[in-house]
Structure 1
Amino acid sequence: MKKIALIFSTLLIASQVTLGSSIGIGYGVTNEFFKGGDQTYTLPIINYEYDNYFMEASTIKSIHLGYRFFQDDIYTFSLYAIPFGGYEVDADDLDSQYRGIDDREYQFMLGGEFKYYNGMYDIETILNAEVGKEGGKVSLKLEKPYVVNADLIIKPSINFNYYNSSLVDYYFGIDSGEASTSPALNRYDGESGYSIGVGLTSSYRLTDAFSLLGFIGIMKFSDEIKNSPVIENGLIYAGGIGIMYTF
């Protein structure tokens, strides 16, 4: 289950913006977020545009399908849909003492994105808002590309994510029925929380069509999330590599 796809999505989509329409494959590793589950990920990567329509994805379950209503050299405004938003938590994948919880499902989410490019400092500011049946989040990201040479681009970024109480309670809360299944579980009512992250992505052009990607990142979750009984780590490290074909 792709429980921390948001981290890979943040890092890999940042890499793709320099590549135009492209497809590729990546491999990522991370420490545990939930108590049990995958720590390595194969990452299909897609970044496709046709007129003002676009599709972006850094995992199968992080697909964004959208339309850019306005775009110039400074501002961009888009609306999009995320068929598999949020997290999927399969209780059977957790450590044995936590398998009494109910499964959490992905949710269909709608979102909007506003981008502002400051040409003087070459910094892009990206603001996203996303909402679904089980809650929503607001994200703010700053990123700046550095052109090392004709083939190599490095892009550091910093991001802040706010998660409302409905989303935190659904994915990280524990109700009384779930708490009764194991001494390791206690009732936990989720409240609104946040995460702060930094990342570094790089793109190295091998040929006119193929490029190598590299990415590393750290994301720290607030107490409202990391104190959930099913969370293993509130500080998540992620990294990986990939190869892209641009067309």
Structure 2
Amino acid sequence: MKKITILLLCCFCFFSSYSQADEHLEDDELLWQFSLGTFWVDSTMAQLVGAESHFSAPGLLIDAKIEYKNFYLNTHSGDFYGGSDLGYQMIIENDWGVDVIMGSYQQPFNENGYYDRDEEVHELKGIKEREADLSLGFAYYLSHGKFQTVAELVFDAFGESDGWLFHLDTTRNFELRNWDVWLNIGANYYSSAFIDYYYGIDADEATAFRPEYVVGNTSSFYVQLQADYPIAQSWVFSAGASGFAYSSHIVESPIVHSRDARVVFMGVKYVF
């Protein structure tokens, strides 16, 4: 019932705001920006008991921003988990706005941990798969001086948790000689239903060494830094680092070993 209610609310706001949307996006012009690069990525996730949490390998990273009318799709290789956001701009003012947004905020895992592998992790054997959320909600954007602040309230409308989370972050973009630098600091507040779906233990998952456990409301904090340096026409060197930590009580879960995580990457990308 909760999922139906929030979906109806978002649909109502979407259609009621369509005619009021900013005229500069109401034509049929398709706007896009795209970059593709080869990077070395070193990441350590919040460790699950017995599971591999560290990953280090070369890979492709893609950043894209596509806009059509008031709709947009953004990908974020520089964010902590990467990923994409789909949105619709409901209200557009000079220094603030409100969007309807949809995206994922939590990393999935199963008996094998975060990464696909042939054998299951003994300590995680018998747990159900935790699927990625697909959350829907609203984002409020505010530009103040050289900072941009975003507040998001989303509900896992298409996922399995039946929970919600509140996200808040602020970003500062500045130039340092020929470097373009982004500094981002933020926090998340997870409802008990949302975070318990991932790190709680249900009765049918409990064993003698893994008792039932319910995770209460939880918060997390993170900081991200990314820097770009032009090395040739359309070619850019890019590097970034992120640090993340849950509330200390998250390690009380029988399947959680550590509450902190990090990501470091560097490489070269081509900007189209």
TM-score (ref. length: structure 1): 0.79
Alignment check: 8 A CA contact 1:88 1:104 kept:
yes
Letter in 2 for 1:124: Q
Question: Please, which moves more after superposition, 27-36 or 156-165?
Answer: 27-36
Residue of structure 2 in register with 1:112 after alignment: 138
Give yes or no for the alignment of 1:55 onto 2:73.
yes
> How far apart are 1:232 and its partner, in Å?
2.3
Alignment check: 8 A CA contact 1:81 1:108 kept:
yes
In structure 2, what is the Cα distance between the partners aligned to 1:155 and 1:214?
11
SS at match of 2:130: coil
TM-score (ref. length: structure 2): 0.72
Cα 1:109–1:173 change in 2 (3 A) is same
SS at match of 2:134: strand
RMSD: 2.4
> How far apart are 1:53 and its partner, in Å?
2.3
Cα 1:222–1:199 change in 2 (3 A) is same
Of residues 154, 158, 163 in structure 1, which corresponds to 2:190? 163
Residue of structure 1 in register with 2:256 after alignment: 231
Q: Flag the structure with larger Rg.
A: 2
State the Cα deviation string for residues 151-176 of structure 1 (Å, max 9, x = none).
Answer: 31112221111011111110110122
Report % sequence identity. 18
Cα 1:141–1:85 change in 2 (3 A) is closer
Question: Please, which moves more after superposition, 230-239 or 88-97?
Answer: 88-97
Unaligned runs of 5+ in 2: 1-31, 114-119
Unaligned runs of 5+ in 1: 1-19
SS at match of 1:206: strand
Give yes or no for the alignment of 1:132 onto 2:150.
no
In structure 1, what is the Cα distance between the partners aligned to 2:76 and 2:95?
25
Of residues 30, 33, 37 in structure 1, which corresponds to 2:43? 30
Q: How does 1:179-190 map to 2 (within 5 A)?
A: 179-180=206-207, 183=209, 185-190=210-215
Letter in 1 for 2:147: I
Letter in 2 for 1:236: A
> How far apart are 1:233 and its partner, in Å?
1.4
Cα 1:101–1:128 change in 2 (3 A) is same
Q: How many residue pairs end up in the alignment?
A: 222
Give yes or no for the alignment of 1:40 onto 2:40.
no
